[in-house]
Structure formats: structure tokens, C-alpha cells
Amino acid sequence: MTRQLTGRSYRFDLGDLKVRFTFDSPTQGSFVVVHGAGLAPDGHAETVALNLQEIREGVYLNSWTEASGATVTHLEDFENGTLYSNVTVDGKLYHFTGSIKELTMTQHTDAQDDQAKGNVGIVLTAMRELFADKDLTAIDRYWAEPYIQHSPQMPNGLDTLRNVVPNLEGFSWEPQRIAAQGDLVFTHSIVHGWAPNPVAIVDIFRLDNGRIVEHWDVVQDIVSAEESANGNTMV
């Protein structure tokens, strides 16, 4: 019976706490926090492993653990559209009662858009705190191992970032264009301090559970419009 939920998205409305939830499979779900009620940031997106058990037709006991360590246990009654939720955050237990409503295809697309926006926010915050503020603790908040690196001069793993960032002088990352699709975020930026001269870089970040886990980039020396064969700027 659990497979009937696969691919379907719902709005979990628990008063101040509102979440868009998609059952990706009987063992995996993804969600976007619409309103976090102080328990999670608005716009936070994550994919979680589910422990989903059918009690009777249309009624499920559903539980998962989030990357932050928060635990969630739901009694989900899809037949009557009701939801009972116990959430534990930092050792404190919260009880919620609310409703379940299935999202239309348009609403589902909106939910995917919300997840993409949430990923964009994570990338922008991560890059600012790590590269502009040189706060190495940002790596623990916004990146996760195994970190797969496709930039040809950088090995896999987060230790590379920990070693490179403190030695960057005059570094600035100035995104000019940003796009997101699914679990990917794309940025087209002017970057100073990475090479001897300013460069244009397209970065591609893949996120999983709200953390950056994979990275690609394409780097070009910046050529002025006057020197370009087409007369256009590069970024």
C-alpha cells in the first residue's frame, strides 16, 4: 500500500509549522519548510530516509531523522486528512496536530521551486561565510562528506577547502547569474583572487539533505568587450 504514496506531494499544516512533503519512494521522502515555527529555517529543504508503516488502509506511522539530529514521528491519516506529529529538537519534544492536503501538479511544481530557492539560499550563504568571511566552521554547516570535486586542480574531500581558503588574498566571489534545478545550483560569477587576474567562473553545486556534496566549475580569463571578437562582455 505504501507505493500508492510514491511520487505524491502533500501539504502538512500544523499551525505555525507548515511543510511541503513528497514521498519519493516507500523509503525516502523530501520536504521544504514553508513556515518553520522557530524549529527550522523557512525554505529549508532536505531529503530523508523514511520508516513508513501502514497501520490500516490510508493510515500510516511515519518517522525520520534529519541532518540536524531532529527526529519526527507522524501518524498520517490520509483518509480523513489529519496529522499528529511529535518533533524532537535539541532534546525538547514538541506536539502538533493538523491537516494533510494533497498538492495539485501546479502546487507540486511550486514545491519543487521552493526547494530550488532554498538550495540557492544555502549556496549563497555558504560561499559568503566561507570565502568572504573566511569562517571555516561554515564547512561543517553547509558542506558534507563525501565531497566530490570535479575541478581538475583540487582533490576530493573537504580538507582541500580547509587548506585553500585561509591562503586566499583579495578574494571576492561576485555572482552575476544564478539558476537552480532539482538538487543543482548554477552560478556565473566574476572572481578576484583565485587567479593572477580576474576570471569568469561557472560553478555547479549539487546538494543533498541541504548540504553541498559535489562541485564542478569552468574557469575563463576575463577578456574585455573591446578585445572580444563579438564585442560583448563575458559576464
What is the structure's pLDDT at 159?
95
pLDDT of residue 78: 94
- At 170 the pLDDT is 87
CB atoms within 10 A of CB 6: 14
- H/E segment holding residue 145: strand 143-149
Mark residue 80 as left, alpha or beta (left: phi above 0; alpha: psi -120 to 50; beta: remaining): alpha
**pLDDT for the residue 190:** 93
Neighbours of 232 (CB within 10 A): 7
Q: What is the pLDDT of residue 41?
A: 81
Q: Which three cell numbers stand for residue 13?
A: 499544516
The answer to whether 35 touches 16, Cβ cutoff 8 Å, is yes
Go through the domains of the chain in sequence order and give each one's CATH number.
Answer: 2-103 (2.40.128.20), 108-221 (3.10.450.50)
Classify strands 92-102 and 45-49 as parallel, antiparallel or unpaired.
Answer: unpaired
What pLDDT, on the 0 to 100 scale, is given for residue 3? 54
90: left (phi over 0), alpha (psi -120 to 50) or beta: left
The residues pairing with 65 across neighbouring beta strands, listed in sequence order, are: 71
Position 109 scores a pLDDT of 55
Mean pLDDT by 10 residues, the chain (235 residues): 78 93 90 86 84 93 93 96 96 95 66 71 90 92 94 93 91 90 90 90 91 94 88 85
The predicted model scores a pTM of: 0.56
The whole-number pLDDT of residue 95 equals 96
